[in-house]
Structure 1
Amino acid sequence: MKKVILSIVGLIFLGLSGWLGYYFYKKSKTDPVVYKTETPFVTNIVKKTVATGSIVPRREVAIKPQVSGIVEELYVDAGQTVKAGQLIAKVRIVPNIVSVNTAETSLETARINFQNSKVELDRQKALYDQKVVADQEYNRFLLDFNLKKEALQAAETNLQLVKEGASKKSGQVSNLVYSPVAGMLLDVPVKVGTSVIERNTFNSGTTIATVADMKSLIFEGLVDESEVGKIKEGMDLNLVIGALEGKIYKATLEYISPKGDTSEGAIKFQVRANMLLDEKDFIRAGYSANADIVLDKKDSVLALKESMLQFKKDSIFVEVETQPQKFEKRLVKTGISDGINIEVVSGISKKDKVKVIEAVGTPKGS
Structure 2
Amino acid sequence: MVKNNKVLFSVIVIVALGGSYLLFGRGSSKSQVQYVTSAAEKGTLTASVSGSGNVVVDKIATVDPTITGTVADLSVKVGDSVKKGQLLFKIENDQLGVSVSKAWASYQQALNNLESAKVSKKQAQADLNAAKSGGSTSGGGSGNSAQTVTTKATYTKDQIKVLEEKVKLADSSINVAEQNVSAVYEDYLNQQSIAAKRTVTAPIAGIVNQVNIKNGDDLGKTTSSVASTGSSSSSTGSSSSSSSSKQSPIVIGDLGTIKAQVSVNEVDIPNVKVGQKTTLKFDALEGVSLTGKVEKIDSLGTVSQGVVTYNVTIAFDSSDIRVKPEMSVSATIITKVKHDVIIIANSALKSDGENGHYVQVLRGKTPVRRVVEVGLANTTETEIISGLEEGEKVITQTVDPNATTTSGSSGQRGMFMGSR
Normalising TM by the smaller chain, what interval? 0.5 to 0.7
Give the alignment partner of residue 199 of structure 2, picking from 166, 176, 195: 176
Q: How big is the shift at 1:85? A: 3.2
Q: State the match for 2:350 in structure 1.
A: 310
Letter in 1 for 2:74: L
> For 1:301 and 1:247, how far apart are their aligned partners in 2?
31
Q: State the match for 1:190 in structure 2.
A: 213
Q: How big is the shift at 1:188? A: 3.0
Give the alignment partner of residue 224 of structure 1, picking from 265, 274, 280: 265
Q: State the match for 2:84 in structure 1.
A: 84
Structure-to-structure mapping, 1:204-353, within 5 angstroms: 204=245, 206-277=247-318, 281-299=321-339, 301-312=341-352, 313-324=354-365, 326-353=366-393
Max Rg structure: 2
Residues 196 and 205, structure 1, Cα contact 8 Å, conserved in 2: no
The alignment partner of 2:29 has SS state of coil
Q: State the match for 1:113 in structure 2.
A: none
Residues 40 and 391, structure 2, Cα contact 8 Å, conserved in 1: no
The alignment partner of 1:246 has SS state of strand
Structure-to-structure mapping, 1:13-52, within 5 angstroms: 25-26=24-25, 28-42=27-41, 44-52=44-52
Q: 1:171 to 1:297 in 2, by over 3 A?
A: closer
The alignment partner of 1:229 has SS state of helix
The alignment partner of 2:374 has SS state of strand
Q: 1:28 to 1:171 in 2, by over 3 A?
A: closer
Q: How big is the shift at 1:300? A: 5.4
Q: 1:350 to 1:23 in 2, by over 3 A?
A: farther
Q: State the match for 2:191 in structure 1.
A: 167
Q: How big is the shift at 1:291? A: 1.1
Q: 1:84 to 1:351 in 2, by over 3 A?
A: closer
Structure having the higher helix fraction is 2
Q: How big is the shift at 1:281? A: 4.5
Q: 1:352 to 1:20 in 2, by over 3 A?
A: farther
Q: Does 1:62 align with 2:86?
A: no
Letter in 2 for 1:283: V
The alignment partner of 1:245 has SS state of strand
Residues 40 and 388, structure 2, Cα contact 8 Å, conserved in 1: no
Q: How big is the shift at 1:251? A: 0.7
> For 2:23 and 2:246, how far apart are their aligned partners in 1?
89
Q: State the match for 1:98 in structure 2.
A: none
Q: State the match for 2:6 in structure 1.
A: none
Residues 35 and 356, structure 1, Cα contact 8 Å, conserved in 2: no
Task: State the percentage of identical aligned residues.
Answer: 20
> For 2:271 and 2:194, how far apart are their aligned partners in 1?
59
Q: How big is the shift at 1:282? A: 3.6
Q: How big is the shift at 1:277? A: 1.0
Residues 40 and 394, structure 2, Cα contact 8 Å, conserved in 1: no
RMSD over equivalenced CA pairs, Å: 4.5
Q: Residues 265-299 of structure 1, C-alpha deviation per residue, up to 9 Å, x if partnerless?
A: 32222221211115x64421111111111111234
Q: 1:346 to 1:93 in 2, by over 3 A?
A: same
> For 1:137 and 1:264, how far apart are their aligned partners in 2?
87
Q: 1:200 to 1:349 in 2, by over 3 A?
A: closer
Q: How big is the shift at 1:229? A: 1.3
Residues 40 and 349, structure 1, Cα contact 8 Å, conserved in 2: no
Letter in 2 for 1:61: A
The alignment partner of 1:215 has SS state of helix
Q: 1:172 to 1:93 in 2, by over 3 A?
A: closer
Q: Residues 189-241 of structure 1, C-alpha deviation per residue, up to 9 Å, x if partnerless?
A: 3221223332159x636523222332332111222222221111111111111
> For 1:65 and 1:24, how far apart are their aligned partners in 2?
92
Letter in 1 for 2:197: S
> For 1:260 and 1:27, how far apart are their aligned partners in 2?
61
The alignment partner of 1:318 has SS state of strand
Runs of 5+ unmatched residues, structure 2: 1-12, 103-112, 114-119, 128-158, 225-243, 406-420
Structure-to-structure mapping, 1:100-111, within 5 angstroms: none
